[in-house]
Structure 1
Amino acid sequence: MRSDPPLAAELAAHLLRQRDQGAEGLLRRFFRQYPKLGKRDRARIGDLSYFVLRHLRLLGWAEDPATPLENWIEQADLTPLAQRAQTWLAEGAPPPDPALTTAQRLSLPDWLCDALLAERDEAELTALMAALQQPAPVDLRVNRLRTSPTKLQARLARDGVETTPLPGIADGLRLTARRNLRNDSAFADGLYEIQDAGSQLIAPLCGAQAGQTIIDLCAGGGGKALHLAALMGDQGKIIACDVHAHRLDRMRPRLKRAGARSVEIQPLTGGDDDPALTPWRQQADAVLVDAPCSGLGTLRRQPHLTWRLRAEEITRLAALQTQLLARAAQLVKPGGRLVYATCSLLAAENQAQARAFDAAHPDWTPLPTQDLLRHAGMTPPGLWREESVDPWLRAAPQDQSSDGFFAAVWQRSE
């Protein structure tokens, strides 16, 4: 069997080539080629490949300062970088060369470094990247349709899975050690969903109550629709929409496992006048737009995204986000609520979208997310800075040890 650096290099290159897919599925498919590798071997190789991807630019500069970044991104053999990464992991990385630019030091493309600095200073960006370059913990959301946090903790402990409550997050638990739970019996019984702490803050912003109608306009695999069903006690109607039918198909077994019968799946065509949405104009108590975005807040789990994105892709996503917000606003009834959320870290996808909606919709009232979460019993520490005056939610990895999330909420005038 080949040693770790060549396999880690092969895996890193594989992740870079398959730029439109999530890392978790790519890892599973990659390791099927090496059935003799044990669980610890796969974890070790996976960690080394992630280290290469997280520090790709810095490793490439240390290996050969004359080699352009693009050459390393497109390089078929990253073994030299994996070997250097293994040394750094064992002995510690050398102190950064003072000649390095901020983008080189933080291992970012130049355009992305500039974009991230648009609404934060260099010290904050350094802290953010340090957090994003760490492995993510495993967080669970207890399914209150089937159990309680206390009961689930006890059940998992009996199975040898230790957890601690997520501070200020009502139904959140965090594993004390990372492990794969896909074959766990409590998971199979629908007692919980694997959901990042930051993601668990989004659905409560809808203010969902039993008997209401909530539209999840970009439902994807259904994580937040499932959360809404639990918050509503499965009493009401949740319309889970998406233009990608295959994503909605993945939701069906999750709904069955969770015992969520209030969720209706509705495929969309993607047009502004989608006939599936016409009956719901000004009918929804709340509409959630968990918008397609760059996903940069998930870099701890998806380090290949750093090198997949291009500046023009952010422009395209921002235009789509604007369209989705306008479409969603048409569905909210008078006095209802609109929630916009991303797992992005970029102002163009977050603050700029919120400000543009404010300017275009003066009859909508921005709602303070801090008050909304407090009313929902969610009080995670360190989520809002004392000097902050804006109404938005910004979960940051360096503050909450969560993925990065942004959310804005508005209420339609009566």
Structure 2
Amino acid sequence: MKPGARIAAVIELYDGWTHTRDDADRVISGYFGTRRYIGGGDRREIGERFYDLIRHQARLGWWLVETGYEHQDGRARMIAALVLKDGRSLDDIADMFNGDQFCPDPLHPAEKHLINKLSGQALDHDAQPGAVKTELPKWLYAELLKLHHEHLPAEMAAYNQPAKLDLRVNTLRGSVDSAIRSLEKDGIKGIERTPYAPNGLRLPLGLNMLVAAAYKDGLIEIQDEASQICVKLVDAQPGMKILDLCAGGGGKTLGMAADMRGRGRILACDTHGNRLDNARKRAKRAGAGDCIQLRSIADERDSWLRNKSGFFDRVLLDVPCSGLGTLRRNPALRWRIGQRDIRALTLQQSKILKAGAARVTKGGRLIYATCSILPEENERLIETFMRDRKDFRAVPISEIWPDAPASVPVPGGKDKPWLRLSPNMHGTDGFFVAVFERTAKGNKG
């Protein structure tokens, strides 16, 4: 494709995304799905530019207002990005906006004036408000400022960078070294070990793991290091009975099965049967099917669950959440979720936490996890749980993971009963994990 044609595709994608409630991933998947003629290299550049417009949405919008430009559509933002981010000149941009087949229409006088005004400027400017600089809606900026204070710009800068590709080596199929050898045999370079998760590998962006022999053989699974650390804190042991109440696609279920060496029983539940269908396929490929039972449930009050009161050694609650910890991969989330959504989610999370707690046997553990960065979904919720549930004690991270690498920074200290992970501090997605141990029998929930 010509450079101008790729730019036109980005503009079309961005305008399509702004006029739908669909996820950005779904928008781009649908776009390419109907345009099979677009090659892999072109798709990659179009996708990167599309996500860059979303990652820089607030700052690009600020500049358009600052220059007095009247439009905020994809064309205007693309022009602004070409000047502010890429340093393109008027002549460069005019070469792409030339009206040729599949290219954008020629620049009109107001656009040329915009380019001249933006020329020599950078994307960042001292006059930009804090919410604009950090690429956050005002309400979300205010919430996160309370948590991170002066460190918020550095935190959000890390969230605004694309994530690398993390893999978990499935020890039911082989070792970390054997996985590395297999990937290298497939011509994959730049493989690193993850700094904290013992069976994790980190690869460069843009690789298709689905065609790798290690993936087809069940030796590797795609899983961010934060999720692998969460599984580590479950501390699953051979012979245990474990409930994964919000199993989704089964990534953490498979990690626990590997830690149990395939011996024991994991009941993986979800309210979406199609997710469990995917988990079933993954479990078969991973060689973990014998110890995993998958079950679709109506909700946390499902009658089948009520009959499992006080039954499990471990209950993992990777609850539905805002997903804001995945901004590196899903930058559009910040613009699509609001305070009303958070209130609805925290109500649901509280119900799931209560239901999960009732399923834990005496001496067993309850693990609460989210891929959210909001205290409302994390610390505030579990502080309420600790106040109300005297039959549980909070378990310090250091008690579960005494051999954690010395370099792992744990906000609040390792004596805290929770771990908050972030790309700025740990190089992972944003993630939260809290662990509790049941010290006495309680009422059914």
* Length-normalised TM-score, structure 2: 0.86
* Corresponding residue for residue 229 of structure 1: 257
CA distance in 2, matches of 1:24, 1:234: 34
Alpha-carbon distance in 2 for matches of 1:133, 1:57: 12
From the superposition, tell whether residues 16 and 301 of structure 1 become closer, same or farther in structure 2 (CA, over 3 Å): farther
The equivalent of 1:51 in structure 2 is: 52
User: How do 1:96-107 and structure 2 match up within 5 A?
Assistant: 96-107=124-135
CA distance in structure 2 between the aligned counterparts of 1:116 and 1:408, rounded to whole angstroms: 20
Q: Secondary structure at the match of 1:362?
A: coil
Select the residue among 158, 178, 183 that pairs with 1:156: 183
The structure-2 alpha-carbon separation of the partners of 1:304 and 1:344, relative to structure 1 and needing over 3 Å to count, comes to same
How far residue 24 of structure 1 moved from its aligned partner, in angstroms, is 4.2
Relative distance call for 1:240 and 1:308 in structure 2 (3 A) is same
Bigger Rg, which one: 2
- Residue 275 of structure 2 is aligned with which of 247, 256, 260? 247
1:370–1:180 CA distance, 2 compared to 1 (3 A): farther
Provide the rounded CA distance (Å) in 2 between the counterparts of 1:152 and 1:18. 41
Q: Determine if the alignment matches structure 1 residue 397 to structure 2 residue 423.
A: yes
Shift of 1:386: 7.3
Distance 1:143 1:358, change over 3 A: same
Residues of 2 paired with 1:194 and 1:35: CA distance?
A: 26
Deviations 1:338-381 (A, max 9, x none): 00000000010011111011011122110112331335xx5373
What code does the residue aligned with 2:277 have?
Answer: D
Call closer, same or farther: CA 1:267–1:132 in 2, change over 3 Å.
same
Judging changes above 3 Å, is the alpha-carbon distance between structure 1 residues 15 and 251 closer, same or farther for their aligned structure 2 residues?
farther
Aligned to 1:311: 339
Tell me what 1:36 maps to.
Answer: 37
* Cα shift at 1:32: 2.0
Contact kept? 2:396, 2:415, Cα under 8 Å: no
Query: Match of 1:276, SS?
Result: helix
SS, match of residue 163 in structure 2: coil
- Matches for 1:11-410 after TM superposition, within 5 Å: 11-19=13-21, 21=23, 23-65=24-66, 77-91=73-87, 94=122, 96-121=124-149, 123-162=150-189, 163-261=191-289, 262-272=291-301, 274-374=302-402, 378-379=404-405, 381-385=407-411, 390-410=416-436
Number of paired residues? 404
Counterpart of 2:104? none
Structure 2 regions of 5+ residues with no counterpart? 88-119, 441-445
The residue identity in structure 2 corresponding to 1:3 is A
Matched-pair contact (CA < 8 Å) for 2:411–2:420: no
* Deviation at residue 3 of structure 1 after TM alignment: 2.4
Find the partner of 1:3 among 5, 15, 20: 5
* One-letter amino acid matched to 2:176: P
C-alpha displacement of 1:314: 0.5
Residues 144-197 of structure 1: CA deviation (Å, up to 9, x unaligned): 110110001011001111211112321000114531212222211111100011
Distance 1:192 1:95, change over 3 A: closer
SS for the counterpart of 2:331 is coil
State how far apart, in whole Å, the 1-side matches of 2:414 and 2:179 are.
Answer: 36
Q: CA 1:212 to 1:188, structure 2 compared with 1: closer, same or farther past 3 Å?
A: same
1:225 positional shift: 0.5
Question: Compared with structure 1, are the counterparts of its residues 17 and 205 closer, same or farther at alpha carbon in structure 2 (3 Å cutoff)?
Answer: farther
Q: Is the Cα contact below 8 Å between 1:292 and 1:342 reproduced in 2?
A: yes
Preserved CA contact (<8 Å) 2:320 2:345: yes
Counterpart-to-counterpart distance in 2, 1:287 and 1:293? 18
- The 8 Å contact of residues 198 and 395 in structure 1, kept in 2 or not, is answered as yes
| 2:366–2:436 CA contact under 8 A, matched in 1 | yes
Tell me if the contact between 1:266 and 1:276 (Cα under 8 Å) persists in the aligned partners: no
CA distance in 2, matches of 1:11, 1:250: 28
2:438 equivalent in structure 1: 412
SS across alignment from 2:303 = coil
Once the two structures are TM-superposed, the CA of residue 300 in structure 1 deviates from its matched residue by 0.6
- Comparing 330-339 with 100-109, greater Cα deviation is found at 100-109
Cα contact 1:167–1:380 (8 A) shared by 2: no
User: Which amino acid in 1 is paired with 2:86?
Assistant: A
Q: Which has the higher contact order (CA 8 A, sep 6+)?
A: 1
List alignment gaps of at least 5 residues for structure 1: none
Report the Cα offset of residue 60 of structure 1: 1.0
Tell me, in whole angstroms, the C-alpha distance in 1 between the residues paired with 2:300 and 2:427.
38
Superposed CA deviations along residues 276-322 of structure 1, whole A, max 9, x for unmatched, are 21231101001000010000010010011011101110011011111
